[in-house]
Structure 1
Amino acid sequence: METFALVVTVAVALGFTYTNGFHDSANAIATAVSTRALTPKAALSMAAVMNIAGAFLGSGVAQTISKGIIDTPDGNAGLAIIFSGLGGAIVWNLITWYFGLPSSSSHALIGGLVGAALAGSSTVHWNGVVDKVVIPMVVSPVVGLCVGYLAMVALLWAFRRANPHRAKRGFRMAQTLSAASMALGHGLQDAQKAMGVVVLALVAAGVDTGGGVPIWVKFVCALMMSFGTYAGGWRIMRTMGRKIIQLDPPQAFAAEMTTSSILYITSYLFKAPISTTHVMTSAIMGVGATKRLKAVRWGVAKNIVMGWFITMPAAALVAAAIYEIVQLVF
């Protein structure tokens, strides 16, 4: 029975990874597609490959997820908590995808795990939640907004004497690099979160010590994220690429390079599971504000930010409800 529960939990974790891929694929390619730097098919293919590559570049974020957020009891009780947490995250991902709202799959996952742990009377490491999740959740969008603004100002100054049409053509070509860098950072961050949950399940089932991430876990999580990315998240892509602001190639390049830089720094220096969605959205707002403040559709931005703040508690409530159902059925 425990082996069956482990297999089901790992399968659901891979299902979450798939939804993460199509939910967050917009982060890496929406701007490149909206500026016509890449065709949708080429952008999705590139993002899928770079997601796989990024997943193998580190394991710090995976360790934070597997050890720093919740403790689970051994056996089926622990697997039920993990299963419910994943269920809450998947449900919230599907809801926000349906409405085209670029919320955070990362925070949906963490909110789901915390909600299920509380429902199951398990330990929540609140210091870890605050230090590694809540503070980065607040700080990273502010940093993305400011750095995006400054990066765009620097580009405008550096190319102030350049021919505008020639510069746009050059930045459209450069977006191939910046979008690839963004997709690599997405793999580095988001694939590791799924790895951390799978390790958490393996430890609960007693088949792993949690000392590292097994190579097969890295491979299957990376593969599922790439499949999800290739499936595409067109509803969210329209929001990211057009509804916040209509970007030109220099703005899109600045937003992508800003986001990828922040992803790499937080992954390697802080091992913090930050949201690629939050950083990319705020970076788009920052580069757009250099044009003029009214160029950014702040009403759309406000709705997105409101979605950010309700993601963790909403996913937690759904996960707690799923946990209660699991307890009734089994």
Structure 2
Amino acid sequence: MEAFLDILSRPEGIMLLVIIVLALGFDYINGFHDAANSIATIVTTKVLTPFQAVLWAAFFNFVAYFISLYIIGGFKIGNTIAKSVNENFINLEVIFAGLVAAILWNLATWKLGIPSSSSHTLLGGFMGAAVAFAGGLNIDGNDVVNYAKVLPTFLFIFGAPLLGMFLAYFITVAIMWICRKSNPHKAEKWFKKLQLVSSALFSLGHGGNDAQKVMGIIGAAVIYYHVNVDLDPQYLSGGDNFKIFVDHWFWVPLASFLFIALGTLSGGWKIVKTMGSKITKVTPLEGVAAETAGAAALFVTEHFGIPVSTTHTITGSIIGVGITKRISAVRWGVTISLLWAWILTIPVSALIAMLVYYIVTLF
């Protein structure tokens, strides 16, 4: 409590608190913006009602905290996000502007029913504000953006949906071959039950991937504060500052997973409609294949600490199951519109963040 009061006694400390509140607010928005990713197929196949589905998904979003901590062995994605910008070009105003830009883009795409990536808007906002602060991409031979951390994320704008698509295609083909002699009515009953498992797995992947991104942004703000404001010797010792942050601010990871779960409880029905029926019609069998493929892709990328979009991953998986029927079963017009939203998310978020940063620094 004494340490908290000490933080609030400084103007920078109040700014840090504002950033934490904003970040958790973004986390909540991320939950209802991306709720459709893990529940779209389970709702459209009528396995669960919308309320039951969001409750189911929210529970496993939170359980993902324990999976990341005790099974994955840490918060690698959070670390990637925190270090996506060179620490010499980070300050509290940069983080604040990046968060505001991410929230504005997420709310706009949610309002329009566009399943864009919360991950990429957060990253784009963070980088855009840092570039505005630095005045360019490279200052005195130092890159503003940590390309070693960021490039895998850029590649997975296309890699994540492709991975989801191929996995879903082969899983669907394998299931259809294994069950080729099964009674269709009995098989459908079994796949409806299995959708509960596949949806839970995808919700675990969603929570583990997306909650850590907010945690990484808060971590960047906390590390900046301790290094540059209160000159904490632990953070100046040359050790792994992100690990020190996780150990001392242990409630932040817990809160990040809790808020994304609460956001999921709020749902996002416009995007459910796009994901569950506009791309292709989905049966229980295909729902199991899509969610299992999406979950597998998310767990693999979390293991390697690559922040990917759960939206892109499940969209690719749904396309994969659609292709098993015929190429024309996928509504490519809708898919191309989504692709444009994916490509534009990072640059538009970066531009919004630059504008917000310039406005903030006027005061």
If the length of structure 1 is used for normalisation, what is the TM-score?
0.95
Unaligned runs of 5+ in 1: none
Runs of 4+ in 1 over 3 A off after TM superposition: none
Kindly state the Cα deviation for residue 204 of structure 1 after the two structures are TM-superposed: 1.1
Contact persistence 1:72–1:117 (CA under 8 A): no
Larger Cα Rg: Structure 1 or Structure 2?
A: 2
Query: Could you tell me how far apart the structure 1 residues matched to 2:163 and 2:255 are?
Result: 32
Query: Could you tell me how far apart the structure 1 residues matched to 2:60 and 2:216 are?
Result: 20
- In structure 2, the residue matched to 1:318 is 352
Deviation string 1:148-181 (CA, Å, 9 cap, x unpaired) is 1111111111111111121111101110111011
Equivalent positions of 1:11-160 (< 5 A) are: 11-58=21-68, 59-67=75-83, 69-73=84-88, 78-121=91-134, 123-130=144-151, 132-160=152-180
Query: Could you tell me how far apart the structure 1 residues matched to 2:250 and 2:66 are?
Result: 9
Kindly state the Cα deviation for residue 32 of structure 1 after the two structures are TM-superposed: 0.5
Query: Could you tell me how far apart the structure 2 residues matched to 1:276 and 1:101 are?
Result: 14
User: Between Structure 1 and Structure 2, how many residues are aligned?
Assistant: 324
Query: Could you tell me how far apart the structure 1 residues matched to 2:350 and 2:161 are?
Result: 22
Query: Could you tell me how far apart the structure 2 residues matched to 1:281 and 1:54 are?
Result: 21
The question of 1:200 aligning with 2:226 is answered no
Query: Could you tell me how far apart the structure 2 residues matched to 1:293 and 1:265 are?
Result: 27
Contact persistence 1:72–1:81 (CA under 8 A): no
Q: Tell me whether 201-210 or 224-233 shows the greater mean CA deviation.
A: 201-210
Equivalent positions of 1:214-253 (< 5 A) are: 214-253=249-288
Kindly state the Cα deviation for residue 118 of structure 1 after the two structures are TM-superposed: 0.3
Equivalent positions of 1:174-323 (< 5 A) are: 174-206=194-226, 209=235, 210-212=241-243, 213=246, 214-268=249-303, 270-323=304-357
Q: What is the aligned-residue RMSD (CA, Å)?
A: 1.4
Contact persistence 2:319–2:330 (CA under 8 A): yes
Kindly state the Cα deviation for residue 60 of structure 1 after the two structures are TM-superposed: 0.7
Contact persistence 1:31–1:252 (CA under 8 A): yes
Kindly state the Cα deviation for residue 73 of structure 1 after the two structures are TM-superposed: 4.8
Query: Could you tell me how far apart the structure 2 residues matched to 1:278 and 1:3 are?
Result: 36
Kindly state the Cα deviation for residue 128 of structure 1 after the two structures are TM-superposed: 2.0
SS in 2 for 1:54: helix
If the length of structure 2 is used for normalisation, what is the TM-score?
0.87
Unaligned runs of 5+ in 2: 1-10, 69-74, 136-143, 236-240
